[in-house]
Structure 1
């Protein structure tokens, strides 16, 4: 008795399981016949990373006639930078409130009135609970501006394609 593979019988080379070197008969529409259910695309130009007519990044960046746009490529990067800056702004607000509260308590321990007094703790709590609001507004405005710019650039690109078609 022979041991059988759990995947069924394996074809030996030349039985249609693997393409063999040499000429292959051509079927309809330029597809090579390799066995039942397999078709290979006819040779043609290899796909490239960017559409025809679109310049590379450095060429677009230093295009003094502004025929190629880099805005869409950097929209997500600019948005991430804006989010990071908004988070850093919030953290800065909380740290400033903590330092103001600490400075107020330090000054009041020497008998001087800083004007903050026991309000330092309230300042810290307010910064933690409400300090994120300006950062959120900053993110919203940045997003709206980026969407507006990208929409304008896409409109310009589509208009350019329509003009080229005739």
Structure 2
């Protein structure tokens, strides 16, 4: 026969509200801005910024420190500039080609101008959205890894 009720996990020694109050009174831990109502300390700044330098994290061959959050805005800005340059050059090239085709093929020239004016902005918009999705996915993956690392470090083993 199977056990009808699984055994519940052990309860903590101190309730969360009491732990939060104790931690709030002893708020002298460096890098901690206080505690929330569950007793978990809130860290100040980016996790990688606390006690770690950018260059040491960059050349960490064990990949235990992440630089993705710090560089995400730089990658996004560079991507936006690249998309903007591609947009301007494609629109200019399409309009010049369309205007150049008007004397010998008016229908084709008008179609090229209209398709350039309609399609290129839509593709540029989708490129910006895709860039944002990819960068957010990378940052979210790093955040999950950091939170998992923090959870594992704070898990009590009996």
TM-score range, shorter chain: 0.5 to 0.7
- What is the CA–CA distance in structure 1 between the aligned matches of 2:87 and 2:116, rounded to whole Å? 8
Distance change in 2, residues 1:46/1:91 (3 Å): closer
1:145 counterpart residue number: 134
**Partner secondary structure for residue 131 of structure 1:** helix
- Structure 1: gaps of 5 or more residues: 1-43, 109-115
Can you list the C-alpha shifts for 1:86-131, whole angstroms capped at 9, x where unaligned? 222221221111231244357x4xxxxxxx4442233123212331
Question: Of the candidates 56, 63, 84, which is equivalent to residue 53 of structure 2?
Answer: 56
- What is the CA–CA distance in structure 2 between the aligned matches of 1:139 and 1:146, rounded to whole Å? 11
Distance change in 2, residues 1:145/1:49 (3 Å): closer
- Structure 2: gaps of 5 or more residues: 1-28, 33-43
- Give the drift of 1:64: 0.8
1:35 counterpart residue number: none
Aligned residues: 116
1:82 counterpart residue number: 79
Instruction: Decide which structure has the larger Cα Rg and report it.
Output: 1
Q: 1:156 and 2:145 equivalent?
A: yes
**Partner secondary structure for residue 63 of structure 2:** coil
Question: Of the candidates 119, 134, 137, which is equivalent to residue 130 of structure 1?
Answer: 119
TM-score (norm 1): 0.58
- Give the drift of 1:60: 0.9
Q: Over the residues paired in the alignment, what is the CA RMSD in angstroms?
A: 3.0
Contact between 2:66 and 2:142, CA under 8 Å: does it hold in 1? yes
